[in-house]
Amino acid sequence: MPPSSLRVVYAFAREMHPKTTDVFIEYGTAGFRTKASLLEHVVYRMGLLAVIRSRVKNGRTIGIMITASHNLEPDNGVKLIDPEGEMLEQSWEEIATRLANVSDNDLEATTVEVIKQVNADMGLKASVFIGMDTRYTSPRLAAAAVHGVMALKGTAKEFGIVTTPILHYCVRCRNDNTYGTPTEEGKKYGPYSLVSTPGERGQLNLNCGADFVKVSQKPPVGVEHAPFQRVASLDGDGDRLVYYYLDDNNKMHLLDGDKIATLLASYVTQLLKACEATDLKLGLVQTAYANGASTKYITEDLKVPVSCVKTGVKHLHHAAQSYDIGVYFEANGHGTVLYSDKAKTTIRRIAQEGEPEQRKAAQLLLNFIDMTNETVGDAISDLFLVETVLCARGQNVKEWMEAYTDLPCRQLKVTVQDRNAISTADAERRCTAPEGLQSRIDELVATYKSGRSFVRPSGTEDVVRVYAEADTQENADKLAAQVSQAVFDLAGGVGDRPVA
Ligand code: NG1
Ligand code: ZN
């Protein structure tokens, strides 16, 4: 295709989705995410990029999801999904960032440059699936994505309102029809009933949702529960799940991603033993946010290998692929289980040829695999996996909770002039800049029993996140406040000083 025919890339941009801001935007932990009003030109350009990516992948389908997940209503975001239903390959993040930030005048030339750089055959067909969450700004952004796809003569298929994991699943199925049918119904979840959607005036994630429950350690505002009732909280795009219950003193008990990961891993381990698939190695992947008690339980009680990686699902997913069966979860409830081809083949064989007891366990495992959305964390699929284990074991939520006791923890945010002044190493558990911050954190941590703390720049918000845990809630809160103060002082804090 001669470059002259890319004129339309510029024309659509100028007339329909002009770039009206100079604020630099970066493809971060979960794509581009910021105030919805700053995103229209970015999403249009991601429509362009998705077509180029589809052609580089020989016309296989690419996904575009419009959502800001757990963030509040005024935000929105966009992320690309690769043909296997995975997050966009990391080396393309820089290309996405470049395309998102050029001026309208330079857009055509940059598009040509990118096409050359990645060696896309623009004569091929291109297919792009587009989904969005329920934010009122999402339809407008989805339209911008469609226009981007049209501008480069790709075919866009709109799915309307879907969860993030459903779109990942549909992309995967479209490219690999052995995985399932690319429709919402294809993922046979069966019926479930929505207990409550609070939030003031129905605003997404406001005082409710998985992130609110996890970070504030409180139940959603305005919901009532019977004691020991099992309650699940999801986030705005359906890829995170946490559980909680209230005891008879109305105290909340949270079962987060770590609790879910350990429950699923222990059940799969139990079935692997029962079907005597001893050559299959199961492993668990966490991030620095995993509660220290969970890591200890996994290592010492479950005796399962565990690895710690940087925040962001793409890192967890990647690490989980190195096991025959890899269970990965962020503490915030985003995660899933991955099964290698070797694992699937072995388990299928045992289900056919094993001794009766082995066959039974292998069949249960096959059902479990079938219910898993392996493309990405999926709150609904994870919910059914949890319910399956509790049902199989006849366990209630309290018994599930009792497997191990979480260390009290606290998460805080600090606003600084430039959050990228913070650099980290060792899966974000230590900070290498600014100078003096890590030694200050070490000093503070040393004064607490079971103390642990780390800081890192957020990839989705303009803040530095602080995490702390200690023997009591009071101490965890104190440690978090002191570390926040250290960040404020040594990394250029702005606004109100954090209260220690
Ligand atoms: P950032 O803002 O980079 O901390 C948050 C979550 C991540 C991940 C992304 C994407 C925490 C502490 N961080 O990232 O785990 O889920 O959002 O949604 O929960
Ligand atoms: Zn989400």
List pLDDT tens digits, range 269-291. Answer: 999 999 999 899 999 999 999 99
Q: Which residue, by CA, sits nearest to atom 16 of ligand 1?
A: 312
Say how many Å lie between the CA of residue 292 and the centre of ligand 1: 18
Nearest-10 Cα torsion for 79, 256, 220, 239: 20
Cβ distance 333 to 210 under 8 Å? Answer: yes
Say how many Å lie between the CA of residue 438 and the centre of ligand 2: 30
Q: By CB neighbour count within 10 A (0-12 exposed, 13-18 middle, 19+ buried), where does 230 fall?
A: middle
Amino acid at 444: L
Tokens standing for 204?
Answer: 């997404």
Query: Nearest ligand to the C-alpha of residue 460?
Result: 1
29 lines ligand 1 (CB under 6 A): yes
Per DSSP, what are the bridge partners of residue 329?
335
DSSP H helices, 57-137, are 93-101, 104-118
Cβ distance 400 to 255 under 8 Å? Answer: yes
Ligand 1 atom at shortest distance from the alpha carbon of 332: 19
Q: Residue 189: its pLDDT value, please?
A: 45
Cβ distance 52 to 89 under 8 Å? Answer: no
Domains and CATH numbers, the chain: 3-175 (3.40.120.10), 257-401 (3.40.120.10), 409-490 (3.30.310.50)
Amino acid at 126: A
Q: Residue 194: its pLDDT value, please?
A: 56
Of 26, 27, 29, the one to substitute when testing ligand 1's pocket (max ligand atoms within 8 A of C-beta) is 29
69 lines ligand 1 (CB under 6 A): yes
Residue with tokens 């381990």: 269
330 lines ligand 1 (CB under 6 A): yes
| Annotated active-site residue in 69, 127, 138, 233 | 69
67 lines ligand 1 (CB under 6 A): no
Q: Residue 500: its pLDDT value, please?
A: 57
Ligand 1 atom at shortest distance from the alpha carbon of 214: 19
Say how many Å lie between the CA of residue 35 and the centre of ligand 1: 17
Q: Which residues of the chain have pLDDT under 50?
A: 1-3, 189-193, 198-199
C-alpha 187/C-alpha 214 separation (Å) is 27
Say how many Å lie between the CA of residue 132 and the centre of ligand 2: 12
Say how many Å lie between the CA of residue 459 and the centre of ligand 1: 7
Q: Residue 223: its pLDDT value, please?
A: 83
C-alpha 107/C-alpha 476 separation (Å) is 49
Query: Nearest ligand to the C-alpha of residue 29?
Result: 1
Say how many Å lie between the CA of residue 99 and the centre of ligand 1: 24
Between the alpha carbon of residue 354 and those of residues 130, 339, 349, 361, the distances in Å are: 44, 20, 7, 10
Q: Residue 499: its pLDDT value, please?
A: 66
Spatial CB neighbours of 89, under 8 Å, sequence gap ≥ 6: 82
458 lines ligand 1 (CB under 6 A): yes
Q: Which residue, by CA, sits nearest to atom 4 of ligand 1?
A: 458
For 474, other C-beta atoms within 10 Å of its C-beta total 11
Cβ distance 304 to 282 under 8 Å? Answer: yes
30 lines ligand 1 (CB under 6 A): yes
334 lines ligand 1 (CB under 6 A): yes
Strand residue runs (E) in 313-470: 325-329, 335-339, 409-414, 423-425, 430-433, 452-457, 464-469
The two beta strands, 155-161 and 127-132, are parallel
Nearest-10 Cα torsion for 466, 260, 475, 413: 20
Tokens standing for 407?
Answer: 């260390």
69 catalytic per annotation: yes
332 lines ligand 1 (CB under 6 A): yes
C-alpha 63/C-alpha 81 separation (Å) is 4
Nearest residue to 215 via CA among 71, 392, 352, 1: 71
For 287, other C-beta atoms within 10 Å of its C-beta total 25
Helix axes 257-274, 379-393, angle to 10 degrees: 50
